[in-house]
Amino acid sequence: MKSVSRKVGKYEVGRTIGEGTFAKVKVARNTETDESVAVKVLAKSTILKHKMVDQIKREISIMKIVRHPNIVRLHEVLASQAKIYIILEFVTGGELFDKIVHQGKLPENECRRYFQQLIDAVAHCHNKGVYHRDLKPENLLLDAYGNLKVSDFGLSALPQKGVDLLHTTCGTPNYLAPEVLGNQGYDGAAADVWSCGVILYVLMAGYLPFNESDLPTLYRKINAAEFSCPHWFSPGFELLIHKILDSNPKTRIQIEGIKKDPWFLKNYVPVGHNADEKVDLDDVRAVFDDIEDNFVSEQSENNEGGPLVMNAFEMITLSQGLNLSALFDRGQDYVKRQTRFVSREPAKVIISTVEAVAKSMSLKVHTRNYKIRLEGIAANRAGQFAVVLEVFEVAPSLFMVDVRKAAGDTLEYHKFYKNLCGKLDNIIWKSSEGKAIPVCLEQ
């Protein structure tokens, strides 16, 4: 088996916890403070090949500019000869959408609190001249205390001098404002407010206000703001949601109006923060002024032979809130938020079984060492759906298979994972009661 020991500057880098088209996110430890952080890793060759230097530089600069308690904090940026490392706050509570997937609609007071934190964060962005443009529950994380954190500023825009309207159609179709779909230029602030409204509806209802399998029907309903309110919506909330999901951006309620709404104001306590905090962009300039330079030494020691051996630090970070007891308490139900399972089959058998099952599901399969990427078309045909599975050795003859979404909708991903586990039933290790053995449990 092989183990990996890697240091980037003062950070000890561990396992991959997220993966997208252009970047991986790994968990790491600050060896000076012992603090856990998330590290977004990008290959310079990929950035240069796809001409993404300006976009990545913009995303990093934006995340440093918009410092707020309800926004994922960017600590610093480092670079080696081949890679760029974005050091981020490590948020342990998972995606907000995971709560919706497993609980359905949330209690009204809980929805209100999340929405208040979301509006505070978005208002701060807008005050800094930043428009997120891809607000959705998948980009809203929760910390160990249940506080909301906005993440993923990859599609954010800073207005250009003398230009008031944005023209790029981007984001996830179900959360896009009508004017964004119209391709006629739009106000970034009004578009973000619409997306916040869709998120709020999902929190309260447990499902999307606009959710059609074919895109023409979906776009028609969004353009007409054609949605209905379930019977459990309170009158005050129903009034507010119709003001937010107004198809006309000129008459749509603005953030200032939302903050004065009686439903919003209930138990509202604005979060305290230093809005004028000085932001230092020297590290960003150092990384991008000469993208080929080697700024940080990177050491990696590999012993080839098998799947990665998960060390104690990585095992601890599997647990929500870094609570060790959760790793060993098997009296609870199988983990709700995390998607991983344990197998006692040999690693090569696990890989070959997953490959066979994926092919039977008409998915494209890409295998490298002990990592598999599965790709297909999203259920609503709106884009690509992709999943990454990675095999780790956690004890002799005991393997953990970590499954994570790489592209696509979170709800679709959870349905896929449940279906996949059903087809992999013969290799998943179960207790005497027939339940899958948990790896990581919620607090």
389 touches 397 (CB < 8 A) = no
Helical ranges in 128-267 per DSSP H = 178-181, 188-205, 215-223, 235-244, 255-258, 262-265
Q: Name which of 363, 57, 78, 120 is nearest 258 in CA terms.
A: 120
The DSSP secondary-structure symbol of 121 reads H
| Phi, psi dihedral angles at 181 (to 5 degrees) | -65, -25
> What region does 381 belong to: left with phi over 0, alpha with psi -120 to 50, or beta?
left
Q: Single out the catalytic residue among 98, 120, 134, 143.
A: 134
Amino acid making up residue 422? G
Q: Which residues have C-beta within 8 Å of that of residue 107, sequence separation ≥ 6? A: none
DSSP lists the bridge partners of residue 6 as 13, 300
Is residue 187 part of the annotated active site? The answer reads: no
Burial call 33-59: b when 16+ CB within 10 Å, e when fewer? eeebbbbbbbebeebeeeebeeebbbb
Query: How does DSSP classify residue 52?
Result: -
The label of the residue with tokens 């060896």 reads: 31
Tally helices (H) and strands (E) across the chain. 15, 15
β-bridge partners, 236: none
**Residues annotated as catalytic (active site), given as ranges:** 134
